[in-house]
């Protein structure tokens, strides 16, 4: 697999540099699902900012609302669900929640690329990849279809695939890892600068997982993207993400720079998650699974803290009052049991002062930090 | 990478395998059906074979000639063991010699079948094509509007039409268009007063006479197409790649084509069954509209106890179904790349 | 082959209980389904009690041959001046008896063979399924016609027997598929692991889950049987032993010329309407059963 030099930016079409990485501000986002028992919230009052040029990871167990959050970025929550409140501001697009019809369709694919879970079949089984690429080009009024194919072939080549051959294949002729790379190609080929990856490595073997994660990081740097990675795997987040948001029961319970959150978790749920990971070195007995089960749509408590049922630090106030997100250094934590911190240096976290100019340099700094740590 | 060999034409072998399997099963079916024919002819109440033979001898034929004359009608010599007769009968079939008709003296069964087959195949195909196009389109609507009133109406009417037997439909159509509001001819293939030929008048008359049979075939299978297409579309709509296509911002038209093409595929297997059912139903429709196809031929041969003709017609109907099955499956293999590459070789 | 049959008898109580509770829940959701049930009950009543309402030999009115519909004769009279409605009602017993016999044979044979094939798998399975496939492909109606030349289906029961023996293929295939899918979910292996006897596994674990499905197939078999035998009598290949709807159709169309003159039209329409009504009832009930069996089809 050819490793990509990081200065390939010159190969990119000129408008890549012009547009740059967009920032994303999610505020007060709530999504409800219509059920026989009424409308139940899957995501409730989420504030999250994706600083331009960063990779943000969202971690949570299944049912925590993380996939619903990801779909909200494209205003694509599937019925019977709907976005009931809040906004998703994307630089250059505006509030996605208010987009409708053609406007929304054009934004999808062109501005926001979405990569499906690898195990899911995200390609039309009857058509060769190349033909589907042309469908994509025609849908977005690309005049130079030859150029599009060339771009796709380059992208696939950079991800270590034989581009011409892949474009000639149908889904069933590709392995899981190959399909995933094709999915990434589809998300990037129109030069979208915001990329959402939903469980990008689930159901892949360890080697392929590592390859895909490396590709994500490389492409992210090379193209100057803003990336959101949804996963249940803390390892994936540790590997790629600059910033991290932990979701539980439709709420973000803790968010901040990855290194800080993983190194010194504050929220009891984050701590539980980290303790549940068995280490390669050390006693397997040290890994402690969280007691209890995550709530489902129907069992999310309506009032109080969503995590209280499984929480070792629970107090009376947790039953009645929902904990607000409180700043702790660069972090936001929603827990009554964690001592409140000051709101001084919060590297672009939260929905408050998320101005582009202010957020960007901070984001870059964090990126550099994370990189150092991994290399 | 792992690609090597994946695309190295495993298709041709898989297709040949499938075809061989189908042919073997088809031959077995034909063997069973011809054996049933033989058993029935051999066990006709009142033993007309012996009676025929004796009558011919009485009429002054030599025993040898009489035997052969009888064999022409029934397919085997009226003597020898059961096994010899069976071999004799099957041998005749192998050379495509289906014997002579009893009711129309001197007429070869093969010729009669060929003439009748035209009158069955063309209306059946026309009716199927009509109902397929209409039913598939309506099925898509029924799926998209499945929670609305239109969807309910389409689904229930589809179930009813699918459930009602063909003769009921034929009789209702007949009652409407030939008795209550007589605008269509209710019997025959063309006006007998018109000279057959490639004239506009004759062709028009042909079309007019075929209208009721074709309409009945179409209505009888239309409900099935609606139901099948509806459930197929609903399934495909729930597939991940459709959501993926929407998230890539593909136009509605393209997404619709993705849904339609994927949904219509499984219907090709039903096509075989539907053709089979229509061939069975041809008996009623041809009887009701006195349309001289295979079904009417079979029925007439049964009422007239014309066993050679009966065996031939039954055999031909079975062969038609076997062929329809094979064609439909092969069509499916060609269209669906997954099957072609042998992935779903279950 | 014997085990599943024995067990099928033993667990009938369980089967029935699950079946009825499921039916009730789904019926209440759509009133049209209630209508379906009412129609079917009506037909059952007609078959049982109908003939008792009329004298052994239906009265004839020689002055009113092919009489038009009136209060006295809602569907007119036939060629002998007999009331058509009375003919439909008395004829229903033959039709429904046949259907019942067919349905029972179809379901018992189909379920037993399907269960056996799916449970045993391997060689037995492929052999049985080959036979089933073949039965499904041989055109049933032409076969029946050909058989009618050597076998006079004299009584309603005999007729039902023949139709049942010809018709179990579909049920067998479906039950086998069900059994296999339950097997795949580990049901059977789990029960084996617990040391439960085969009889218990089949009777308590497999059959109850399939009960609505089997009931649905039974209804479909009933319709199939009604259509087939009415059709055979209509074609006139069977001797007219008793009054039934098919005989009425035959006499009205080929004797009375219902497709050329309006006089015999009510005579033809009466049995047709009976068939249509029965079909409607069964379609509505099958729709309900379908939902019990396959909740995925439930519309959002």
Quick one: residue B134, left, alpha or beta (phi over 0 = left, psi -120 to 50 = alpha)? Answer: alpha
Answer whether C259 sits within 8 Å of B288, measured CB to CB. Answer: yes
Q: What is the dihedral of CA C77, C80, C81, C87, to 10 degrees?
A: -50
Which of A169-173, A225-229, A339-343, B39-43 is least confident? A339-343
A124 is a domain residue? no
The answer to whether B171 and C253 are in contact (CB under 8 A) is: yes
User: Cβ of C150 under 8 Å from any chain B Cβ?
Assistant: yes
**Nearest CB to B163; choose among C249, C259, C283:** C283
CA of B63 vs chain C CAs: smallest distance (Å): 28
Give the list of residues 6+ apart from residue C184 with CB closer than 8 angstroms, or none. none
Chains contacting B (3 or more CB pairs within 8 Å): A, C
Its domain, for residue B335, covers 13-45+98-345
Answer whether B244 sits within 8 Å of A116, measured CB to CB. Answer: yes
Instruction: Please give the structure tokens belonging to residue B27.
Output: 């031959």
* Confidence (pLDDT) at C15: 54
* Confidence (pLDDT) at C292: 65
Out of B6-20, B202-216, C277-291, the most confident range is B202-216
**Nearest CB to A121; choose among B241, B251, B336:** B241
User: Cβ of C272 under 8 Å from any chain B Cβ?
Assistant: yes
Answer whether C227 sits within 8 Å of B32, measured CB to CB. Answer: no
- Best B44, B163, B176, B216 residue to mutate vs chain C (most C CBs within 10 Å): B163
Contacts of B261 in chain A (CB under 8 A): 126
Its domain, for residue A331, covers 21-111+196-205+228-375
Q: Locate all alpha helices (DSSP H) within chain B, ordered by sequence.
A: 11-42, 48-58, 63-74, 82-94, 109-144, 149-163, 166-174, 200-237, 240-247, 252-264, 267-288, 294-303, 307-335, 337-340
Which of A42-56, A69-83, A308-322, B122-136 is least confident? A308-322
User: Which string of DSSP letters, residue by residue, matches B130-173?
Assistant: HHHHHHHHHHHHHHHTTTSHHHHHHHHHHHHHHHS-HHHHHHHH
Answer whether B164 sits within 8 Å of C279, measured CB to CB. Answer: yes
Taking residues B114-132, what's their average pLDDT? Answer: 89
Domains identified in chain B, total number: 1
- Best B47, B164, B329 residue to mutate vs chain C (most C CBs within 10 Å): B164
Answer whether A139 sits within 8 Å of B248, measured CB to CB. Answer: yes
Residue A371 pLDDT greater than 70, yes or no: no
- Best B32, B45, B149, B175 residue to mutate vs chain C (most C CBs within 10 Å): B175
User: Cβ of A146 under 8 Å from any chain B Cβ?
Assistant: no
User: Cβ of C295 under 8 Å from any chain B Cβ?
Assistant: no
Taking residues B48-68, what's their average pLDDT? Answer: 78
Taking residues A123-127, what's their average pLDDT? Answer: 89
**Beta pairing partners, A34:** A39
Domains identified in chain A, total number: 1
The answer to whether B74 and B307 are in contact (CB under 8 A) is: yes
> Consecutive 10-residue runs of chain C (300 residues): their mean pLDDT?
40 58 70 86 88 78 74 76 83 87 90 85 80 74 82 79 85 84 74 76 74 77 84 84 83 81 84 89 79 51
* CATH code of the domain containing B310: 1.10.3720.10
* CATH code of the domain containing A341: 3.40.50.300
Q: ipTM beyond 0.85?
A: no
Answer whether B338 sits within 8 Å of A162, measured CB to CB. Answer: no
Tell which A residues from 64 to 103 touch B, by Cβ distance under 8 Å: 74, 76, 78
Q: Among residues C36, A34, A68, A62, which one has the least CA distance to residue B163?
A: C36
Instruction: Please give the structure tokens belonging to residue B314.
Output: 């039954």
Q: Which residue of chain C comes nearest to B159, CA vs CA? A: C283
Q: How confident is the model at residue A138 (pLDDT cuts 50, 70, 90)?
A: very high
The answer to whether C115 and C210 are in contact (CB under 8 A) is: no
- The residue with greater pLDDT, B273 or B175, is B175
Answer whether A124 sits within 8 Å of B258, measured CB to CB. Answer: yes
Q: Which residue of chain B comes nearest to A123, CA vs CA? A: B241
User: Which string of DSSP letters, residue by residue, matches C197-212?
Assistant: -HHHIIIIIIHHHHHH
Backbone dihedral angles phi then psi of residue C89, each to the nearest 5 degrees: -65, -50
Answer whether B244 sits within 8 Å of A122, measured CB to CB. Answer: yes
State the CB neighbour count (10 A cutoff) for residue A34.
Answer: 13
**Beta pairing partners, B226:** none
CA of C26 vs chain B CAs: smallest distance (Å): 17
A357 is a domain residue? yes
- The residue with greater pLDDT, C75 or A3, is C75
- Best C136, C145, C226 residue to mutate vs chain B (most B CBs within 10 Å): C145
A161 is a domain residue? no
Answer whether B302 sits within 8 Å of C260, measured CB to CB. Answer: no
Contacts of B243 in chain A (CB under 8 A): 76, 78
Backbone dihedral angles phi then psi of residue A269, each to the nearest 5 degrees: -70, -45
Answer whether A108 sits within 8 Å of B341, measured CB to CB. Answer: no
- Whether omega for the bond prior to residue A302 falls within 30 degrees of 0, making it cis, is no
Q: Which residue of chain C comes nearest to B163, CA vs CA? A: C279
Residue B106 pLDDT greater than 80, yes or no: no
Answer whether A173 sits within 8 Å of B3, measured CB to CB. Answer: yes
The vertex-B325 CA angle with B130 and B291, nearest 5°, equals: 50
CA of B280 vs chain C CAs: smallest distance (Å): 6
Q: Could you tell me how many CB contacts below 8 A there are between chain B and chain C?
A: 122
How far apart CA C287 and CA C147 sit, in angstroms, is 34
Residue A231 pLDDT greater than 80, yes or no: yes
User: Cβ of C276 under 8 Å from any chain B Cβ?
Assistant: yes
By three-state DSSP, how is residue A333 classified? strand
DSSP C77: B
B51 is a domain residue? no
Give the list of residues 6+ apart from residue C239 with CB closer than 8 angstroms, or none. C152, C154
User: Cβ of B343 under 8 Å from any chain A Cβ?
Assistant: yes
A362 is a domain residue? yes
- Kindly state the percentage of chain B with pLDDT values over 70: 88
**Nearest CB to B245; choose among A124, A172, A178:** A124
pTM: 0.76
- The residue with greater pLDDT, A11 or C221, is C221
User: Cβ of A161 under 8 Å from any chain B Cβ?
Assistant: yes
B50 is a domain residue? no
* Confidence (pLDDT) at A10: 39
**Nearest CB to B3; choose among A116, A125, A165:** A165
A138 is a domain residue? no
Q: Could you tell me how many CB contacts below 8 A there are between chain A and chain B?
A: 88
CA of A371 vs chain B CAs: smallest distance (Å): 30
How far apart CA C259 and CA C265 sit, in angstroms, is 7
User: Cβ of B183 under 8 Å from any chain A Cβ?
Assistant: no
* Confidence (pLDDT) at A147: 92
* Confidence (pLDDT) at A286: 64
Taking residues A46-51, what's their average pLDDT? Answer: 91
User: Cβ of B25 under 8 Å from any chain A Cβ?
Assistant: no
């Amino acid at each position: 697999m050819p490793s990509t030099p990081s200065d390939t930016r010159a190969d990119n079409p000129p408008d890549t540099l012009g547009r740059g990485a967009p920032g994303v501000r999610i505020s007060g986002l709530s999504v409800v699902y219509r059920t026989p028992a009424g409308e139940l919230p899957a995501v409730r009052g989420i504030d999250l900012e994706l600083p331009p040029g960063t990779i943000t990871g969202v971690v949570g167990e299944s049912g925590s609302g993380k996939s619903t959050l990801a779909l909200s970025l494209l205003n694509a929550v599937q019925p019977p669900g709907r976005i009931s409140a809040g906004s998703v501001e994307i630089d250059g697009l505006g509030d996605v929640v208010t987009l409708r019809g053609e406007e929304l369709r054009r934004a999808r694919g062109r501005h926001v690329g979405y990569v499906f879970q690898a195990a899911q079949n995200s390609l039309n089984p009857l058509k060769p990849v190349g033909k589907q690429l042309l469908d994509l080009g025609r849908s977005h009024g690309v005049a130079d279809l030859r150029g599009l194919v060339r771009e796709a072939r380059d992208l696939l080549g950079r991800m270590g695939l034989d581009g011409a051959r892949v474009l000639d294949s149908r889904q069933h002729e590709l392995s899981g890892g190959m399909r995933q790379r094709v999915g990434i190609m589809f998300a990037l080929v129109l030069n979208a600068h915001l990329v959402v990856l939903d469980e990008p490595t689930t159901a892949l073997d360890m080697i392929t997982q590592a390859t895909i994660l490396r590709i994500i990081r490389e492409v992210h740097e090379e193209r100057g993207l803003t990336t959101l990675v949804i996963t249940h795997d803390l390892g994936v987040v540790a590997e790629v993400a600059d910033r991290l948001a932990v979701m539980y029961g439709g709420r973000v319970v803790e968010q901040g720079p990855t290194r800080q959150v993983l190194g010194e978790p504050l929220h009891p749920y984050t701590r539980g998650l980290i303790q549940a990971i068995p280490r390669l070195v050390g006693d397997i007995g040290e890994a402690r699974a969280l007691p209890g089960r995550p709530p489902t749509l129907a069992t999310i408590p309506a009032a109080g803290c969503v995590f209280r049922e499984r929480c070792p630090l629970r107090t009376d106030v947790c039953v009645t009052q929902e904990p607000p997100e409180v700043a702790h250094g660069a972090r936001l934590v929603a827990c009554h049991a964690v001592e409140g911190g000051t709101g001084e240096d919060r590297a672009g976290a939260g929905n408050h002062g998320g101005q582009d100019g202010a957020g960007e340099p901070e984001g870059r700094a964090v990126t550099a930090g994370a990189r150092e740590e991994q290399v | 990478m792992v690609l090597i060999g994946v695309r190295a034409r495993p298709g041709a072998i898989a297709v040949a395998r499938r075809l061989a399997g189908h042919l073997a099963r088809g031959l077995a079916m034909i063997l069973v059906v011809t054996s049933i024919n033989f058993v029935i002819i051999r066990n006709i109440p009142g033993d007309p074979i012996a009676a025929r033979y004796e009558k011919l001898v009485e009429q002054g034929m030599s025993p040898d000639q009489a035997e052969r004359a009888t064999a022409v009608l029934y397919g085997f010599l009226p003597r020898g063991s059961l096994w010899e007769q069976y071999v004799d009968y099957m041998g005749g079939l192998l050379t495509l010699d289906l014997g002579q008709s009893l009711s129309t003296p001197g007429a070869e069964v093969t010729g009669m079948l060929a003439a009748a087959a035209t009158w069955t195949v063309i209306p059946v195909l026309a009716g199927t094509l009509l109902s397929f196009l209409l039913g598939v389109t309506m099925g898509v609507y029924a799926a998209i509007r499945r929670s609305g009133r239109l969807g309910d109406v389409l689904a229930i009417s589809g179930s009813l039409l699918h459930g009602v037997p063909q003769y009921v439909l034929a009789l209702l159509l007949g009652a409407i268009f030939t008795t209550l509001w007589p605008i269509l001819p209710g019997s025959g293939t063309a006006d007998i007063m018109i000279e057959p030929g490639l004239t506009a008048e004759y062709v028009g008359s042909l079309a007019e006479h075929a209208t009721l049979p074709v309409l009945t075939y179409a209505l009888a299978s239309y409900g099935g197409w609606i139901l099948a297409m509806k459930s197929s579309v609903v399934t495909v709509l729930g597939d991940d790649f459709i959501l993926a296509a929407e998230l890539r911002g593909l136009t509605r038209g393209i997404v619709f084509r993705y849904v339609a093409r994927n949904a219509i595929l499984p219907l090709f297997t039903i096509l075989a069954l539907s053709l089979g059912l229509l061939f069975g139903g041809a008996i009623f429709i041809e009887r009701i509209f006195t349309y001289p196809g295979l079904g009417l031929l079979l029925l007439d041969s049964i009422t007239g106890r014309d066993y050679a003709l009966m065996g031939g017609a039954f055999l031909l109907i079975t062969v038609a179904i076997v062929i329809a099955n094979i064609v439909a499956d092969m069509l499916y293999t060609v269209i669906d790349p997954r099957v072609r590459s042998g992935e779903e070789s279950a | 082959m014997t085990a599943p049959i024995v067990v099928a008898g033993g667990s009938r109580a369980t089967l029935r209980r699950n079946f009825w509770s499921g039916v009730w829940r789904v019926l209440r959701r759509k009133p049209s389904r209630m209508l379906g049930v009412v129609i079917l009950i009506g037909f059952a009543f007609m078959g049982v009690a109908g003939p008792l309402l009329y004298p052994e030999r239906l009265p004839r009115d020689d002055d009113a041959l092919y009489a038009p519909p009136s209060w006295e004769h809602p569907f007119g009279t036939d060629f002998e001046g007999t009331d058509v409605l009375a003919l439909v009602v008395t004829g229903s017993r033959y039709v429904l008896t046949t259907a019942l016999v067919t349905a029972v044979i179809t379901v018992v044979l189909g379920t037993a063979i399907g269960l056996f094939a799916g449970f045993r798998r391997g060689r037995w399975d492929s052999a049985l399924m080959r036979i089933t496939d073949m039965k499904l492909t041989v055109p049933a109606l032409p076969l029946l016609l050909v058989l009618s030349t050597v076998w006079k289906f004299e009584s309603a029961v005999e007729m039902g027997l023949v139709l049942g023996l010809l018709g179990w293929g579909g049920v067998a295939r479906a039950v086998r598929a069900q059994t296999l899918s339950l097997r795949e979910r580990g049901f059977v292996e789990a029960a084996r692991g617990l040391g439960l006897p085969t009889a218990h596994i089949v009777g308590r674990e497999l059959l109850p889950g399939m009960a609505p499905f089997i009931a649905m197939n039974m209804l479909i078999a009933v319709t199939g049987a009604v259509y087939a035998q009415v059709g055979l009598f209509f074609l006139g290949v069977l001797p007219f032993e008793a009054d039934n709807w098919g005989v009425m159709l035959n006499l009205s169309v080929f004797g009375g010329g219902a497709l050329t003159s309006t006089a015999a039209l009510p005579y033809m329409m009466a049995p047709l309407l009976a068939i249509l009504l029965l079909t409607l009832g069964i379609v509505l009930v099958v729709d309900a059963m379908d939902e019990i069996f396959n909740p995925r089809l439930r519309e959002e």
